[in-house]
Structure 1
Amino acid sequence: MTEKGFEPLSSQLGIPGTSYRLQLGLINDKWASRILKGNNIIDSYVFKDEDVGGGYPNQNLIVGWVLRTVAIPNINPHQVMKTTQALMKQARTNKEKQKVKAPLSETKDVELERVPETEIKRPKTSGWVKEEAPSSMSESEKRQAFQERVKTKKEGEATSSQHKRELPKIPSAGGEEMSEAEKTFCPFCGKDLTFIYCPYCGKKLPHD
């Protein structure tokens, strides 16, 4: 025996104390439950709108329907409720997954609107950029300007070399007579001194 239009949302769990199995699903987008034994479907039930609260069927109604359908003495309703709760948890999870996946028929093609060029806001540049004019000097003029720069540089170096400080001559050990300017410098270390003894080397200075 097969059933058409049943969309399972849970696995098939055995009803404790029996050889039957219970499963939850949808028939024509409405909650339904069915009882199976082997490969056969014993019975199925589609819940009415008043039997569904918060989007899911009342679990007490599922247990009551199972007890009436199976009709086995000494069946434990508490065990049937545990099975129903486990199936309902699976059904909730699979139901939420179906909400996330929208069918292709419900998707719409979105066309982007073309914005006119006049409405596009572009950043304005501030200030101005100086454009350098291309050089109009010929090769000979460039060569002449380079030679003038080199000549000016050499003249500056020659002028600076003429202003070097001239140090006084240190008298030799032969005892030659020193000038007045030479007497102000130590003949041994060249320091500019007017002392009798050089404070740097400690030797006596040749004063008159």
Structure 2
Amino acid sequence: MAAMSTRKFLTLNPLSSSPLKQSLLFLSSLNYSTKSSAFGARNKNTATEMPSDIDENDSVPTSGISRPLSEILKELNKKVPDTLVSQRVDNGFSIKYVPWHLVNRIMNLHAPEWSGEVRNITYSPDSKSVSVVYRVTLYGTDAELHRESTGTAALDETGFGDPVQKAEAMAFRRACARFGLGLHLYHEDMC
């Protein structure tokens, strides 16, 4: 009987060729470099060899803060690629932003030891809006640091999503911006 190979393969299967999906794959490269070659070599059926000493039953460490805060903050302050930035018109003004789910992925990538929590939910006295206070905490080898921010949404808004979820997403993005993530977008609007 021939010896069986113990090599394992990880198949990279991009969800589609859209720029947003490619940008999500791009996030896994651990930096914000905008080299186009990162996508050129990938296709639906590309296989990447995994080391043979990795066992599927190996446990993944769930703790272990690995970097000082200064390194984490340096990564979070980098310019977010334009392909990850969305734009909407609100009250006649064009607003650029990074969607909350992409902010979450960037945080997981560059600050895997972060945590977040809703600190407060307040409904306005006139029952027209809801405000959420959200706290994001970063943990480094040398310290921990938290930032809070608010988000507000109209209760009578008929668009997609629950008003509390919208306010929470806004507060989360803003709290992360206080660490520098996507902060350049606020400055671009002023120029």
| TM beyond 0.5 | no
TM-score where L is the length of structure 1:
0.16
- Computing the radius of gyration from Cα coordinates, the structure with the larger value is 1
TM-score where L is the length of structure 2:
0.17
Higher relative contact order (CA 8 A, sep 6+): 2
